[in-house]
Structure 1
Amino acid sequence: MSQTIAIAQIASSSNGRSSGRPWKSAKAPTARSHIQPGAKTKSWQDRMMKEQKEKAVKKLQTELKEEKQAEKERRKQITLERRKAAEERKRAEELKIQLGARKAARLRKKAGRSKKINQ
């Protein structure tokens, strides 16, 4: 009584294991490395040089941005100072006109009381 057991063979392909079902994707070994492909192929010095260049560019961009912001603030400050000066001039002019009118009225009044001037 010898029993023969028939074992179903899994089809093997050039890609490795294959399920034999054409609608399923072929299996591939799990990639366990978290290192990016570009990092594996380049040398340490190359990566460090690239990193230094990027840092230099970023520093330059920051400096330019700060310069631009400082120039903008400077122009804004100049505009505010000009407005303030113009407002002060206008206020002084109005005050001068008002004081001038009061003084002129006072002088006219005083002139009318003086007998020497009326004669």
Structure 2
Amino acid sequence: MATPCDQHKNLAASANGRVSGKSWKLTKSATVRSQSSAGHKTKWHARMEKTKRDHAVRKLEVELKQEKQAEKRRKREITLQRQRASEERRRLEQEMAVMGARKAARLRRRAGRTKKING
């Protein structure tokens, strides 16, 4: 006949040896998150690689944009210089025409010709 002491020997002495009564709960695993964002589903290393690629692309875009703006500025400066040179040439031609007219009038006066005489 089994005594009450013999029955206690079959039981675990501590909680470490105890078994849960939930036989339906087999093992613990990570929660499946079907509704979570893609960032949570990917590995940290993969996210860091993607971030590095994105930064490199942005840096390249900025460099290309700056080069394009510099080229645009350079072309604009060349155009402005041409316009200034053209304006300066036109102004000098006008001055020369005015000075030429004055010189011609001076020579006519010295020769004795005026508008009234032999205009």
Question: For residue 69 of structure 1, what is the aligned residue in structure 2?
Answer: 69
Q: Which ranges in structure 1 are unaligned for 5 or more consecutive residues? A: 1-31, 114-119
TM-score, normalised with respect to structure 2: 0.60
How many residues align? The count is 81
Q: Percent identity?
A: 52
Q: Which structure exhibits the higher relative contact order, with contacts defined as CA atoms closer than 8 Å and separated by 6 or more residues?
A: 1
Q: Which ranges in structure 2 are unaligned for 5 or more consecutive residues? A: 1-32, 114-119
What pairs up with 1:23-102 in 2 under 5 angstroms? Answer: 35-37=36-38, 39-102=39-102
Deviations 1:73-116 (A, max 9, x none): 11111111111110110111011011011012112322449xxx
TM-score, normalised with respect to structure 1: 0.60
Q: CA RMSD in A?
A: 2.2
**Which amino acid in the other structure matches residue 36 of structure 1?**
S
Mapped partners of 1:48, 1:84: distance in 2:
53
Mapped partners of 1:79, 1:112: distance in 2:
49
CA spacing shift, 1:34–1:99, aligned 2, 3 Å: farther
> Highest Rg: 1 or 2?
2
